[in-house]
Structure 1
Amino acid sequence: MKKAMLFVAGFVALLWVSLSPSYETYAVQGSSQLEETTVKVATYNVAAGRGTDGAYNLERIATAIENTGADIIGLQEVDVHWGDRSNNDNMVALLAERLDMDYYFAPIYDFDPAGEGEPRRQFGVAVLSKYPITNAANREIARLSTQDPDPVPKPAPGFLEAQINVNGAEVAFYVTHLDYRADPIVREMQVADMEEIMAAHTYSILVGDMNARPDAPELQPLFQKYADAWNWSIEEDGYTYPAASPDRRIDYVFASPRIEVHSATKMSSQAADHLPVIAEVSLIEGSHSYNLEGTEWLVDHFIEHGDIQGTETSTLLHNHLRALNYYKEQEKNEKLVKHLQGMTVLLDYEKEKGNISNKAWEELSSDIGYFTEKWNQ
């Protein structure tokens, strides 16, 4: 009975805000002219520059990256002055210079120099981008060190977070390299840590070598929360390892459901022991959801993390979204705009009551303003 009363109350409130003449529509400055940019994002485990022949050849890696056509690419197993196996090169700086891309490096291991006056020895993950990296950080997740003779799982760096501005769309780009051991316990901890970090950003892409196949239980939280780009591939499998004769899929591109994925592919190459995975996505200036499903995901995300509180508030927002999806299917733009305006009133009202955080209000209002302009033309 309580649920039924709440449902009725929700629709009464929904009707009131939709018909209220006293709303002020949230406006997105110039939203009718917002730029939508299609980019290629990729992941590539470069095996410290060593190909399937075992030889170090950084130019071969650079050519492979070039051939992916990637605008933004996450790299794993990157050496920076690590040792003889990679010529003591700063691999990421050399690749960035060769490819004319911005970069950020996040070491997993950071050791003292081999000799006095020499640079520090580092190994980790990196991002290369044709678009400006506006901010970046090396975040900690659980790790079981390969350099410690008696390791225990503990927080350690090597989870890369970069804010990248793609023609006015600010996307959080994450690069990871998960534990390789057969026992999944460390990967399970790592996924939980990554989810906690990524929760701060709702317009995000995660790439990396997960060292686990798609059916691995420890990866399921990622599949449940984010869009696996390979679902948009026309290829039969996404096998990426070993490069000479791939028989498993362990390299992934995940995107927030707010971001439109168009396609995904892998590229044959012997430059490293993994194959690169490439996805084509669209990013909207202002970091807006590309469809109502993205906004619904955003609402659920804020509910999960306490930015939207109260069962009644959640019900009212979901009722609005159901109505919007219905009228979108019916192609009734006038009704769509009216309900979007009603949702703006609801967001303002619930924010005033303290049921919606400033962050949730800003992002949801921005989405609603974008769709209002889009369907009011």
Structure 2
Amino acid sequence: MLGGMSVRVVSYNVHSLRDDLGALAGVVRGLAPDVLIVQEAPRRWRWRTKCADLAASFGMVMAAGGMPSLGNVIMTNLRVRVLEQWCMRYPLTPGRHMRGACFARLEVPGRGPFVVVGSHLSTDDAERPAQAALLKPALALDDPVIVGLDLNETPDGSSWGLLTDRLADAAALADREDRYTFPTPNPNRRIDAILLDPRLELGRYQVVTSDAADRASDHYPLVVDIV
């Protein structure tokens, strides 16, 4: 546990900022995350400035990711201290998008460190399990781990099985596996997840739906409170 202190983590695929950016900023600010894991953040020309501007629109700051992790980004509020950050890339399959993951070792003042991880797996059924197999050993860390990701498959897929071998699906812990995440505004699949280290205690899990969320992205954001 994080010393009994609640920490709010949000995971959100922002659809490469193709939608209503005002609605997106409003959704995130309304959720008031301590840590935000973003998929499909800026990753190309002027990505540092674009990611910093996106974080500022949420009232947050950049912690890790961007181009080095192929559009996976971790942002924090000023309550959270960033101790370390790093990235990894999955091998490029010719004709496919290169993908990766970002990592940040974080600390809430006076509490032990924890690691937050963000990733976005392939849409290709043949490529995706190999990416999950590479990510899995990278999650075997000394500190408790929280993973937010777009798996691009439903929970019966092999990548879910690989990654939940030692990490718990927050939706299953909360008995909310019936809440779909994609596509807005009429979702019919749960392809996004927050996975939790067994050393952490889940206080709340929610898939956030609203009119603003319908305009903000093609995915709904996931919220967990770790207590």
Q: TM-score range by the shorter chain?
A: 0.7 to 0.9
- Taking a change above 3 Å as real, the CA distance of residues 231 and 78 of structure 1, as seen in their structure-2 partners, is same
- Taking a change above 3 Å as real, the CA distance of residues 80 and 193 of structure 1, as seen in their structure-2 partners, is closer
Shift of 1:209: 0.5
Shift of 1:234: 5.4
Q: Who is 2:151 aligned against?
A: 210
CA displacement 1:40-61 (0-9 Å, x = unmatched): 111100011122xxxxx43322
C-alpha distance in 2, partners of 1:134/1:100? 20
Unaligned runs of 5+ in 2: none
Residue 185 of structure 2, aligned match among 229, 238, 244: 244
1:5-16 map, 5 Å: none
- CA RMSD across the alignment: 2.5
Corresponding position: 1:135 with 2:77: no
- Taking a change above 3 Å as real, the CA distance of residues 92 and 42 of structure 1, as seen in their structure-2 partners, is same
Of 157-166 and 73-82, more deviation after overlay is shown by 73-82
C-alpha distance in 2, partners of 1:240/1:142? 27
With normalisation by structure 2, the TM-score equals 0.86
Q: Who is 1:37 aligned against?
A: 5
C-alpha distance in 1, partners of 2:192/2:96? 25
Unaligned runs of 5+ in 1: 1-33, 52-56, 111-122, 145-149, 283-377
Contact 2:151 2:159 in 1 (8 A): no
- Taking a change above 3 Å as real, the CA distance of residues 152 and 42 of structure 1, as seen in their structure-2 partners, is closer
Residue 101 of structure 1, aligned match among 47, 56, 60: 60
Residue 76 of structure 1, aligned match among 11, 22, 39: 39
Residue 116 of structure 2, aligned match among 133, 153, 173: 173
Contact 1:48 1:77 in 2 (8 A): yes
Shift of 1:157: 6.2
Q: Who is 1:307 aligned against?
A: none
Secondary structure of 1:79's counterpart equals coil
CA displacement 1:73-99 (0-9 Å, x = unmatched): 10011125649xxxx894321122233
Contact 1:134 1:164 in 2 (8 A): yes
- Report which structure shows greater RCO (CA 8 Å, sep ≥6): 2
- Tell me the matched-pair count: 219
Contact 2:42 2:67 in 1 (8 A): no
Q: Who is 2:28 aligned against?
A: 65
C-alpha distance in 1, partners of 2:24/2:173? 26
- Taking a change above 3 Å as real, the CA distance of residues 36 and 80 of structure 1, as seen in their structure-2 partners, is same
Residue 273 of structure 1, aligned match among 193, 207, 218: 218
Pick the structure with more strand per residue: 2
Could you tell me the percent identity over the aligned residues? Answer: 25
